[in-house]
Amino acid sequence: MDTVIRRRIRGLRLARGWSLDALAGRCHLSPSTLSRIETGHRRIALDQLVPIAKALGTTLDELVESPGDEDVVIRPEPGHAPGVTTWLLSREDALHGMTVAKMRISPARPADAEQLAVHPGREWFTVLSGTARLRLGERTVLVEAGHAAQFSTMVPHAIEAHHGPVEILTVFDHDGQRAHLHGADDAAPPHGRRSTADPGDR
């Protein structure tokens, strides 16, 4: 762990274009002390890390956090709504408010015109398996596996299964998430928990 901390200090310093002297002047340690800390020739003390972190514009927690995989690997849990199973593949703070989701849609009676969603923004999806029936106002567009669709969500729309289940990978903005993901009984952004059901096994 010490090695990771030393690399972070050096990496943050170089990213700012600072010399050892420049960082030393900001954290009130000598350049030789900083050099020995970065190269592993001096034991790292907590009372040194606090001013170093502050000078580098980070926090002590971020400087010493464990380099585990929980902030990298997402283990989605399925959320269920009538005819749809959803796996959220991004965290709440990711992609500037965009939500990435995998959805499995079961065949059902086509939605009535008044059930078509309308909201600001645009939507994008690609079909992983099966064929999606995209309703856009009075138009119906079939999107096959391997193909993608992008459209204005100000047009009344719905994505349905065509002659069998369909799986899609989709990207929603904030308005799209509220319109299409609201109501799933346990669809919540993943937080690194291990799912009891892998999406590929369902």
Q: Which CATH number characterizes residue 147's domain?
A: 2.60.120.10
In a domain, 152, yes or no: yes
In a domain, 140, yes or no: yes
Q: Are residues 82 and 44 in the same domain?
A: no
Q: Are residues 87 and 126 in the same domain?
A: yes
In a domain, 195, yes or no: no
pTM of the prediction? 0.57
Q: Are residues 51 and 90 in the same domain?
A: no
Q: Are residues 57 and 100 in the same domain?
A: no
Q: What is the span of the domain harbouring residue 13?
A: 2-64
Task: Give me the number of domains the chain comprises.
Answer: 2
Q: Are residues 52 and 86 in the same domain?
A: no
pLDDT tens over the chain, length 202 residues: 688 899 999 999 999 999 999 999 999 999 999 999 999 998 888 889 999 999 999 999 888 887 666 667 778 888 888 888 999 888 765 545 678 889 999 987 666 656 788 888 888 999 999 999 999 999 999 999 999 999 998 999 999 999 999 999 998 777 666 666 655 554 444 433 333 344 444 4
Q: Are residues 185 and 88 in the same domain?
A: yes
Q: Are residues 85 and 144 in the same domain?
A: yes
Q: Which CATH number characterizes residue 30's domain?
A: 1.10.260.40
Of 13, 38, 64, the position where a domain reaches its end is 64
In a domain, 70, yes or no: no
Of 26, 42, 64, the position where a domain reaches its end is 64
| DSSP states of the chain | -HHHHHHHHHHHHHHTT--HHHHHHHHT--HHHHHHHHHTSS---HHHHHHHHHHTT--HHHHH----STTT-----EEEETTEEEEE-S-TTSGGG-EEEEEEE---PPPPGGGSB--SSEEEEEEEESEEEEEETTEEEEEETT-EEEEETTS-EEEEESSS-EEEEEEE-HHHHHHHHTT-SS-----SPPPSS-GGG-
